[in-house]
């Protein structure tokens, strides 16, 4: 075995042929013997380049509708033989097996077929057998064989061909082998997750081929990485590189604003994954200004998100605030010019793509997995439990507050009025503490809580919260209910003309 190997023969059988022609032409120029199958063989012939059908090696036709083409000892022997092993070399001669120095193979588009909504039979037919076997074989024998397993590697491989005239090093072959095993493992993960979509098998398979190195993690002394296709979800129009903490805040902002998709202009400002301001108004500018009024102190350095296009008037207001990230479905041209006035300000256009239906987080020496909380409280799901019923305006505010509450760290209490966040108590160990924090904060920013509403992410075990809220001016409450002492809170509300509704759904967020 030598470190440097000159490519003299290649097996090429691919589904994706974009970008393949220059490689084939260069290999032909280098005098490489080409072997191929089916559509790829025709593609090479159409280039006017000589290619040998694999059937001439195997002396066996493609059978079973193309399901079996390359699964043959003469093909895999040519890939898996060890050139430094005398026994392998002797058997190659004995059975007339050609040496294959290069394998260019990709896989049927299984994930795309699943995503297209195709029927089960079409999906099953896109489970590659020959391709995955060729990739694993070539990658395993990287000492003697180079494996190109994805069209994403066509360009770097072509560059290698031109720079080294078909000579590869052990380091290069091992590098492409690693990429090949990444391709094969990701492919198998996708297939398993399709078959285990109901999670009947308690096994976690996660594979994300798109990764980026972040400046650091949550703190400067921690390394950080993001694995995901960020570009599929956002167009990054301007600004510095997103940090680990930026990404967490963007995630929180997107999840919150998804609750208001298709509704009137809504604007939210987030800090440390919680909304410090959010409002819904007739215009984006008014929504932004009232969101900012919710907590103009915490808004400094925050994440801003809108469910509607940001216009010039709104951009002028935003530009006076130092903020890390601005997110919107679109921007007016003049608005964009204004927002780009701060060179580090990150400007994102959010695309509408489905989010994963499950969430993951590390826990102890393992991982916790759960369904995403996709339940949103609606008027139809509410149970009116008090004599006093919420007015139409109160009901709108209750549902608004409930959406914000769902996306605020527990224990939490959210106070809202006129579809504006007055204040929230976030991440408290006591629900009473969360309420008192919210009242104190709302008062400090000059909010009049008379006629405001209160939302809680979990039930009240005692009537103390409704009593404190009553004294602050709260007139309507929304909560899950379910405490063995619910009647105590209901009784207090009835005596003091407070409307209270139960959702029947808890929204803890830890």
Candidates 256, 260, 289; CA nearest to 274 is 256
d(CA 488, CA 431): 16
Using the 8-state DSSP alphabet, how is residue 211 labeled? E
Q: Which of 16, 26, 140, 238 is catalytic?
A: 140
d(CA 167, CA 189): 34
d(CA 32, CA 500): 79
249, 251, 252, 257 alpha-carbon torsion, rounded to 10°: 120
Q: Which of 26, 174, 205, 272 is catalytic?
A: 272
> How big is the chain, counted in residues?
510
Structural contact between residues 36 and 44, judged by C-beta atoms closer than 8 angstroms: yes
Q: Which residue bears the tokens 């510095």?
A: 240
User: Residues 24-38, buried b or exposed e (16+ Cβ, 10 A)?
Assistant: bebbbeeebbbbbbe
Using the 8-state DSSP alphabet, how is residue 409 labeled? P
Structural contact between residues 266 and 399, judged by C-beta atoms closer than 8 angstroms: no
Question: Active site includes 186?
Answer: no
Farthest-apart Cα atoms in the chain, separation = 98
d(CA 510, CA 508): 6
Structural contact between residues 143 and 82, judged by C-beta atoms closer than 8 angstroms: yes
Question: Active site includes 221?
Answer: no
d(CA 39, CA 16): 10
- Which residues form the catalytic set? 140, 272
């Amino acid at each position: 075995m030598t470190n440097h190997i000159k490519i003299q023969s290649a097996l090429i059988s691919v589904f994706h042929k974009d970008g393949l022609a220059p490689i084939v032409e260069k290999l032909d120029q280098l005098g490489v013997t080409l072997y191929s199958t089916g559509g790829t063989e025709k593609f090479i012939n159409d280039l006017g380049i000589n290619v040998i059908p694999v059937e001439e090696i195997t002396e066996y036709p493609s059978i079973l509708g193309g399901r079996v083409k390359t699964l043959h000892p003469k093909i895999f022997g040519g890939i898996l033989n060890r050139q430094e092993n005398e026994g392998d070399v002797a058997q190659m001669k004995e059975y007339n097996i050609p040496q294959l120095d290069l394998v260019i193979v990709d896989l049927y588009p299984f994930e795309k077929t699943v995503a297209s909504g195709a029927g089960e039979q079409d999906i099953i037919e896109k489970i590659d057998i020959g391709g995955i076997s060729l990739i694993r074989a070539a990658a395993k024998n990287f000492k003697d064989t180079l494996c190109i397993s994805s069209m994403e590697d066509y360009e770097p491989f072509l560059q290698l061909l031109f720079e080294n005239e078909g000579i590869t090093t052990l380091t290069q072959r091992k590098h492409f082998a690693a990429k090949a095993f990444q391709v094969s493992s990701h492919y198998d993960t996708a297939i398993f997750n399709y078959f285990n979509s109901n999670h009947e098998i308690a096994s976690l398979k996660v594979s994300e081929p798109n990764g980026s190195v972040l400046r650091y993690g949550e703190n400067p002394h921690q390394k950080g990485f993001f694995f995901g296709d960020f570009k599929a979800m956002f167009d990054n129009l301007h600004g510095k590189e997103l940090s680990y903490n930026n990404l967490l805040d963007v995630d929180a902002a997107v999840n919150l604003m998804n609750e208001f998709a298709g509704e009137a202009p809504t604007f939210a400002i987030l800090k440390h994954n919680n909304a410090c301001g959010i409002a819904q108004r007739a215009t984006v500018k008014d929504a932004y200004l009232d969101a900012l009024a919710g907590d103009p102190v915490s808004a400094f350095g925050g994440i801003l998100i809108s469910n509607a296009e940001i216009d010039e008037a709104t951009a002028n207001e935003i530009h006076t605030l130092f903020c890390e990230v601005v997110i919107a479905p679109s921007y007016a041209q003049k608005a964009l010019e204004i927002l780009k006035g701060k060179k580090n300000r990150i400007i994102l256009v959010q695309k509408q793509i489905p989010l994963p239906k499950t969430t993951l987080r590390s826990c102890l020496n393992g991982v916790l997995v759960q369904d995403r909380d996709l339940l949103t409280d609606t008027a139809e799901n509410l149970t009116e439990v008090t004599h006093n019923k919420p007015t139409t305006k109160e009901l709108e505010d209750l549902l608004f507050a409930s959406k914000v509450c769902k996306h605020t760290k527990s224990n939490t209490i959210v106070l809202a009025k006129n579809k504006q966040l007055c204040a929230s108590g976030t991440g408290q160990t006591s629900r009473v503490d969360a309420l008192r924090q919210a009242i104190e904060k709302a008062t400090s920013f000059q909010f009049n809580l008379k006629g405001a509403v209160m939302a809680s992410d979990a039930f009240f075990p005692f009537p103390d919260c409704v009593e404190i809220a009553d004294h602050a001016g709260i007139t309507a409450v929304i909560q899950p209910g379910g405490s063995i002492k619910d009647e105590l809170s209901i009784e207090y509300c009835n005596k003091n003309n407070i409307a209270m509704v139960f959702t029947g759904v808890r929204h803890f967020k830890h």
